[in-house]
Structure 1
Amino acid sequence: MASIEPSKLDRMKRSFRSDAELDEVFIVLSIGAGLIATLGLLANSPAVVIGAMVVAPWIMPLRAAAFAVLFGDIPLLARSLRTLLVGVCTTTVLSILLGKLAGLPQFGSEVAARTSPNLLDLGIALVAGGLATYAKLRSDAVSSLAGTAIAVALVPPVCVMGLLLSNAYWEDALGAGLLFATNLLGILTGGLVLMACMDSDFRQELKRSHLGAANFALTGLLLIPLGTSFFNLLGQARNENTRDSVEKTIEQFLTRETLTFGDKKKIDVERVDIDWRQNPPVVRVIVRVLDPELPTFKQVSAVQEEINKRQGLRFRLVVERTAIDIVGPKEKPNVQSPISLQLIDSTIEPADDTKPVDNTRPFKEVPQIEDVPFLDNMQIPEKRKKNHLDSTAELEEIKAPEVPLDNQTTVKPLN
C-alpha cells in the first residue's frame, strides 16, 4: 500500500466510507425503493419496477465493499455489508407483508422473469459493477450511475423473493435469491477488476488481497448453477427454433403444395398446430369444408405419408373438419359505369336481363298487378284504381249499413 500516494488513498477511503454509512437517507430510499418495486411487481408493471431500480441506493455500499476487499480494509467491509444487510432485510420484510396483504393467487411475468438466473445475468452484473466503480473514480462519468442501477437490479430480486416466500413458493424464491447473489458478487467482482485495470498500484494490491481471492472463488462457484441454467435455456431455445421450422414447413406443405386434401375450393386449411408432448407428435389441422365427408381417410393418410417422407421424424396427422353452408341472395350484375369498369373484371360478360336466371323468369316478364283484393270494409279509392301497387295513398273506409240488434242472428253456444 506504500506505493500509493497517502493523500490519494486517504481521499478515497473517506469517500468510500461515506458510501458505506447507514444513515437516514439510505434507510428512506431503501424503504421507498422496496415499496415501489413490490407494488410494481404486484401490478406486473415494468416501468414501475425500473423506477425502483433508479431510487435504490444499494450500489453505493457495494462500491465501498469492493474497495475494502481490494485493500483488505475489514472495518470498511463490515460497515458496507451491515448497511446492505439492513436494506435487504427491510425490503424482504416489506415485500412479504405486501404479498400477504395482496393475497394474489399467482404473480405475473415480472416475477417469473427473476426466478431463473443464468450466465447472462452474471455478465450484466460484472459490467455494471465495473461501470459503477468507474463512475466513482471519475466524477465526469457520474451520469452513468442511474443507467448502471437499472442494468443490474438489486432491489427487485429481493422483492420477488419476499413475494414468493409470502405464498410459500420455496423453489422459485430460491431462484430469486440466487439472482440477488449473482448481482451482488458480480458487482463486487466487476468493481475489483475495473480498479485493477485502471491503476497498476491497484493491480498489485489485488494480487496480494486474500479477500479478493475469496471473492473470485465465490463468484466462480456461481458458475455451476448459472452455467447449468444457461445451457438448459440454450437447448430449449434450439428446440423451439427446430419446432418452429418444422411447423412452418408442414404448414406450407398443407396450404401451398399440390398434394393436399383435394380441391382447394372445397377445403380451406384454417389452422395447423403440432402437439410435441406426444410420440409421435400429432399434427392437428383444422379445415373448413363444403362437403362434410372431405377430406377422406385415404386423403389424410396420403398427406401424412408425404409429410413423414420429408421430415426426420414421424408425425401423426389428425384433421378436424368443420362443415359450412354458404347462404346469400342473388343479385343482378352491375351496369357499365366508371367505377364498375375500374373495379370489376372486364372479361365478364354484361348481364342480359331478358334471359332467365336459374330457371326463373326475368324481371320484365313479371305481370304488373293492377288491382289487389281487400277484405271487409277496405277498398281502393276511385282516384287510385289506375295507380301501381306501391302507392302510399290512403284507403277509404266503407260504411256498412247498420242492422238493428233484434234482427241479428243469435249464435248458439256449442255443446
Structure 2
Amino acid sequence: MRLIRLLVGTERLAELTDVLDGEGIDFVVTEERERDAVIVEFPLPVQAMENVDRTLDESGFEDLDYSVVANAETASTERFEELEAEYVEADDETDSVSVEEVRVTARSLLPDRRTYYAMTVLSALVATVGILLDSPAVVIGSMAIAPQVGAAITASTGIVLGETAMIRDGVRSLALGLLVAVVTATLFGLFLHDTGVVSPALHVSTVKQISTRISPGFLSLLLGLCAGSAAALGLATDLPLALVGVAIAAAVVPAAAAVGIGIVWGLPLVALGAGVLLVINAAAILLAGAATLRVMGYHWGGGDSDPDDDRDWARLPPSRETVVAVGTVVLLLLLISVPGVAVVEHVRTEHEVSTVVRDTLDQPSYEDLQFRELQVAFADLGLLGLPTEVTIQVSRPADTTHPSLAGTLDDEVEARTGKPVILAVEFVDRQAASESDDDLGPREPHTDPAGAGQAPPAAHSVATRPGRY
C-alpha cells in the first residue's frame, strides 16, 4: 500500500478533490498558510497507482512541485475496502505497479559504488573459497551477499523505459562488477596457490563446483533467463527481491570465480568455459528482465498516449532513447549468439560422446562395466588449438581389468566427432558381499588390505599418442 502526498495551490484544490472523489479515493487536506497551498494526502493500493497516476496526469497534475509516495502498512477509510476490491481482488490486469514507481524502485536498488564493489569483492572471495572447498553451502552464501541484482534490474528497466542513464549505469555496474569479481578471484586464487594453502597439484577441473560451471549448455542459459524474468516480475508486482537476487547471483558470481581459478591453475578451457557461461548468463538476465517488463505493458513513454495526436509515428525519426534501447538489445543478442555457437557445438559433442560410450559399454566384452559419469571439457572451436578433453567414469568388479577400453573409446569418439580428443577413463572398483549381490550397482571403492584401511585411488587409463597433438 502507498500513501500519497501532493502539494497544490488553493485555487486548484476543488479540481483535485473532484478527481479523487471520482475515483472513489478518501483524502485529507492540510493547509499550508505560508505557501497559499494545501497538502492533499490519500492512501492507495499498489495496484491502483498506475491508473490513478494516469488520471491525475490527464487532469493536469503531472508537474507538481511537491509529490511524495511512501510505503504504508494499513489504512482504514470509508471507501478503502472498495478500492481494494476493485484493484486487488479484481480479475482484470491491475496487479502491476505504476511506471514511475518501477522507475524509482529500480534506481533505488543500485547501491553506491563503494558499497557495490565492496560487496562484489566479498562475494567473489566467498565464492572462490566455496568452489575450492567444493562446498555448495559456501557458494550459496556468496550468492546471498552479491549485489548484482540492482545493476541487472536497473539496466533492464532502462531498456524498457528508454532511460539512457539507467541503461548506462546498470550495464556499466554489472560489467565492471563481474570484472572485479574475476580479478578478485584471480588474485585470491594466486595467493592460495603460491602460499600452499591450496595444493598446486589440485586438479580443479575435477572439483564438482567447477566442473558444473565449465560446460555451459541450454540449462545454464535457462537459469539466466528465469533469474532475469523473476527479477522483473518481482519489481513490477512489488514482491520481495531478496530471493531473486540470489537467483541472479547464482547465474554469474560462481562462474566469475571459476574464471579466476582457471587462470591461476593454467587451465585455459576452464577459464574459457566459465567465461562463456558468465557472458551468456549476464546477457540473458538483462534480456529476460526487459522482455518480461515489456510483456507486462511497460515501455518508453510510460504507456500513455494522446488520442488526439494524429501524427504518423512510424515515419517520425527515432528518438535517442529508442536508438540506445534498441542498440542495447542488439548488443545483448550478439553477446548470447556468438558464444551460443560454442555452446551448441559443445552440447552436440557431449551428446555424440555419450552415444559412443553407451554403445561401446553395451558390447558383450564390457557387460560387467557400469557407466557412472561423463565430463566433456568446453571446446575452444579451434581458437586455442587444443584437443577436447573427455573424462569417463565407470565402475567395475574389483577383480577385473579393461586396459584397452580407453584406446577403444578414444578411436570411436574421434571417428564420431571428427576432432582430436584426449580421453581418460576412471575406473571405480566395486565389491559385492556375495555372488548374487554383484549386480546391485555401484558401491564405494573397496578397501586395500595392505593400505591400513585407506581406499586406493581410482585406476586410470588414458589414451594418448605421442606426437599426435
- Classify the TM-score, shorter chain: 0.5 to 0.7
Match of 2:132 in 1: 42
Report the Cα offset of residue 48 of structure 1: 0.8
State the TM-score, normalizing by the size of structure 1: 0.56
Counterpart check, 1:271 vs 2:400: yes
Match of 2:121 in 1: 31
Is the 1:30–1:87 contact (alpha carbons within 8 Å) kept by the matching residues of 2?
yes
In 1: Cα distance, 2:298 partner to 2:163 partner: 19
Moved segments of 4+, more than 6 Å? 202-208
Higher-Rg structure is 1
Is the 2:161–2:302 contact (alpha carbons within 8 Å) kept by the matching residues of 1?
no
Q: Deviations over 1:301-333 (max 9, x none)?
A: xxxxxxxxxxxxxxxxxxxxxxxxxxxxxxxxx
More strand by share: 2
Q: 1:19 aligns with which of 84, 109, 122?
A: 109
Counterpart check, 1:195 vs 2:279: no
Report the Cα offset of residue 70 of structure 1: 2.0
Counterpart check, 1:229 vs 2:358: no
In 1: Cα distance, 2:235 partner to 2:221 partner: 21
Give the number of equivalent residue pairs: 266
Match of 2:236 in 1: 137
What are the ranges of 5 or more consecutive residues in structure 2 without an aligned counterpart?
1-50, 63-97, 194-198, 304-320, 370-396, 412-426, 430-469
What are the ranges of 5 or more consecutive residues in structure 1 without an aligned counterpart?
253-267, 287-415
In 1: Cα distance, 2:245 partner to 2:209 partner: 21
Report the Cα offset of residue 270 of structure 1: 4.2
Q: Which SS does the other structure have where 2:400 is aligned?
A: strand
Is the 1:131–1:144 contact (alpha carbons within 8 Å) kept by the matching residues of 2?
no
1:12-411 alignment runs, 5 A limit = 12-103=102-193, 104-105=199-200, 106=202, 107=204, 108-140=207-239, 142=241, 144-145=243-244, 148-149=247-248, 152-199=250-297, 209-210=325-326, 211-246=328-363, 250-251=367-368, 270-271=399-400, 273=402, 275-279=404-408
In 1: Cα distance, 2:188 partner to 2:175 partner: 20
In 2: Cα distance, 1:222 partner to 1:203 partner: 34
In 1: Cα distance, 2:278 partner to 2:268 partner: 15
Is the 2:259–2:271 contact (alpha carbons within 8 Å) kept by the matching residues of 1?
yes
Q: Deviations over 1:105-154 (max 9, x none)?
A: 2322322332221222112211111011111222235464155246x421
**Which residue identity does 1:231 align to in structure 2?**
R
In 2: Cα distance, 1:204 partner to 1:148 partner: 28
Is the 2:146–2:246 contact (alpha carbons within 8 Å) kept by the matching residues of 1?
no
Q: Deviations over 1:240-270 (max 9, x none)?
A: 3333433697339xxxxxxxxxxxxxxx994
Is the 1:126–1:186 contact (alpha carbons within 8 Å) kept by the matching residues of 2?
yes
Is the 1:154–1:180 contact (alpha carbons within 8 Å) kept by the matching residues of 2?
yes
State the TM-score, normalizing by the size of structure 2: 0.50
Report the Cα offset of residue 202 of structure 1: 7.2
Report the Cα offset of residue 36 of structure 1: 0.6
CA RMSD of aligned residues (A): 3.6
In 2: Cα distance, 1:119 partner to 1:204 partner: 34
Is the 2:186–2:263 contact (alpha carbons within 8 Å) kept by the matching residues of 1?
yes
Report the Cα offset of residue 173 of structure 1: 1.2
Is the 2:147–2:245 contact (alpha carbons within 8 Å) kept by the matching residues of 1?
no
- Evaluate the alpha carbon distance shift between residue 32 and residue 247 of structure 1 in structure 2; reply closer, same or farther with a 3 A threshold: farther
- Evaluate the alpha carbon distance shift between residue 250 and residue 71 of structure 1 in structure 2; reply closer, same or farther with a 3 A threshold: same
Report the Cα offset of residue 160 of structure 1: 1.3
The percentage of aligned residue pairs carrying the same residue is 19
